[in-house]
Amino acid sequence: MPSKIVVGLGNPGAQYAQTRHNIGWMVLDRLADRAGWAGRARDRDAAATVGGRYKGLDLILVKPMTFMNDSGIAVRKILARERAPLPEMLVVVDDFSLPFGKLRFREGGGPGGHNGLRSIIDELASEKFARLRVGIGEPNRGFVDHVLSTFAPEEKARLDELVDAAADAVEAWAREGVNKAANRHNSFELRPADADRVAPPGAVDGPPGADGIRRTRTGWRKVRPDTPE
C-alpha cells in the first residue's frame, strides 16, 4: 500500500507563520507533533517533508516551500517521487468562504479562488484530489489582506482546538477515506468564544479543569500551556 500523502498549504517565512493563509501548515505541524516527527523534516523537491508509521498509518506530510502561488510544483514532484495515485493525497487548505472554525471535506472541484489549489490543479492537470477546507472566516476587507492577516483575539483563543480537530479529520481520512471522514467531521462545531464563561469545567466545550483537560465534542483535550483561555 502506498503512503498517504498530506499536503498543507502555506507561505514560507516567519512573517507568514501565524497568518490565516498558513493554517494548512499549522495542521501539519500538529500531526508532526503527535507522531514525534517535529524538527525532522527534510527539504527536497521544493518541499519540507517528513513521514513514517503513525498509529498504523503510513503518512508523508508535505509543506511546499514555494510561495502559495507555486504550490503545485512541489505537489507534482512528491507524487512523482512516491509514485502515488491522486486518491492517496489530501490537501489541507484555508477557505474564507467558510466561517471560522468549520471543516469541509471535498473530493474534487475547482480552486474556488484559492491560488494554491489553482497551482496544484494546473500542475497536475486534474481536479480529482481530496481537500480538507478549514474555515478562516469571511473577509471584511480585501481578501488578500484577510488571508495574510493574523487571527483575531477571540479566534486565537479557539485556534488550538480548531487545529486539533482538523488534525483528527486528517487522521480519519487516512484511515477511513474521504466519505466517512466527511460524515464525521463536516458537522464539527467550534465552541463559541465566550463558552468558558457559561459552561462549567467538565461540560462539553467548557473550560479546562484543574488538570488542564477540556471536554470537547470530539473527545477530551489537553490544553497546551501557551493556549490562551
Q: Which positions are catalytic?
A: 21
CA dihedral 132, 136, 137, 141 (to 10 degrees): -130
Q: Please report which helix (H) or strand (E) contains residue 48, including its range.
A: strand 47-54
Sort strands 130-135 and 89-95 into parallel, antiparallel or unpaired.
Answer: parallel
Distances (CA, A) of 17 to 21, 119, 124: 9, 21, 27
Bridge partners of residue 70, in order along the sequence: none
CB 68 within 8 A of CB 10: yes
Axis crossing angle, helix 71-82 with helix 115-124, rounded to the nearest 10: 40
